[in-house]
Amino acid sequence: MKIIGHRGARALSPENTIAGIEKAITHGVAYIEIDVCATKDGVAILHHDPFLTDPDGSEVIIAQTTYAELLRHKPDLAALDYAIRAVQHRCKIMIEIKPGEPTKQIVSIIKDRLQRGWRLSEFSIASYDFGALKQMKEALPGVELVVNELWSGVRACRRARKLGTKRINMYEQWLYTGYVKMLKRSGYQLAIFPANKPRWHQRKSHTDSLARIRSWRPYLYGVITDHPDIFED
């Protein structure tokens, strides 16, 4: 079962940052998962939401702001190209494309890395956006595609078949043992999320959930977690 660091190692270090990536790698992750948005001047950056939130609560729209301007609001805001180079082949990189985000910047960056000796197998592209995954398949034939899905296993498998992939990421809450086993028998590679430490008032339900996830270990491709430290062998 592969450990995939969610947004780096979100619970251990600031998410979608170089520091977070380094923290995840120190815990032996097989992949780091990062979210990518595009700035006004076409720079692909690591960020989950389409906006930055300043300490005073005001929002800065990423698509309407240049990278240089955004750095004044968030100095540790990392460009995708720099983040990939920081990984230095120490683990694979799962790039999540948010719905509606452009793909051309990501394609350009990956192609540049391939020309510099990186392997296509070091990258995977994940998204809830079927159209974005289709674009990436056309632009980068052979790249590993991952269908993200919250609750519909039927939709996830249908999209995976159309894309010619066996990789699916699904929200753990909606899954049950029989379905997880069925996906394994059908040749799918399922990674589940989230798999995290609880808040104090969630401790019992979390314990039950974590025990269930561990019982699924033979049937899972991986877990996507803010806490890669709790899955270290």
pLDDT at 205 over 90: no
Please report which confidence band the pLDDT of residue 214 belongs to, taking 50, 70 and 90 as the band edges: confident
Q: What is the 3-state secondary structure (H, E, C) of the chain?
A: CEEEEECCCCCCCCCCCHHHHHHHHHCCCCEEEEEEEECCCCCEEECCCCEEECCCCCEEEHHHCCHHHHHHHCCCCCEHHHHHHHHCCCCEEEEEECCCCCCHHHHHHHHHHHHCCCCHHHEEEEECCHHHHHHHHHHCCCCEEEEEECCCHHHHHHHHHHHCCCEEEEEHHHCCHHHHHHHHHCCCEEEEECCCCCCHHHHHHHHHHHHHHHHCHHHCCEEEECCHHHHCC
- Which residue ranges form the domains of the chain, and what is each CATH number? 2-38+79-231 (3.20.20.190)
User: Residue 77 to residues 25, 69, 72, 142, 194: CA-CA distances in angstroms?
Assistant: 19, 11, 9, 30, 24
**Beta 44-46 vs 31-38: how paired, if at all?**
antiparallel
Q: Is the pLDDT of residue 145 over 80?
A: yes
Residue 75: phi and psi, rounded to 5, are -60, -25
Q: What is the mean pLDDT of the chain?
A: 94
CA distance linking residue 89 with residue 99, whole number of Å: 27
Position with higher pLDDT, 195 vs 30: 30
What is the reported pTM?
0.94
Residue 173 clears pLDDT 90, i.e. is over it: no
What's the Rg (C-alpha) of the chain? 17
> CA-to-CA distance for 204 and 194, rounded, in angstroms?
16
Q: Using CA atoms, how far apart are residues 229 and 223, in angstroms rounded to an integer?
A: 12
Q: Residue 46 is encoded by which pair of tokens?
A: 């690591």
The verdict on whether omega for the bond into residue 75 sits within 30 degrees of 0, i.e. cis, is no
User: Which residues, in sequence order, are bridge partners of residue 148?
Assistant: 169
Tens of pLDDT, residues 87-124: 999 999 999 999 999 999 999 999 999 999 999 999 99
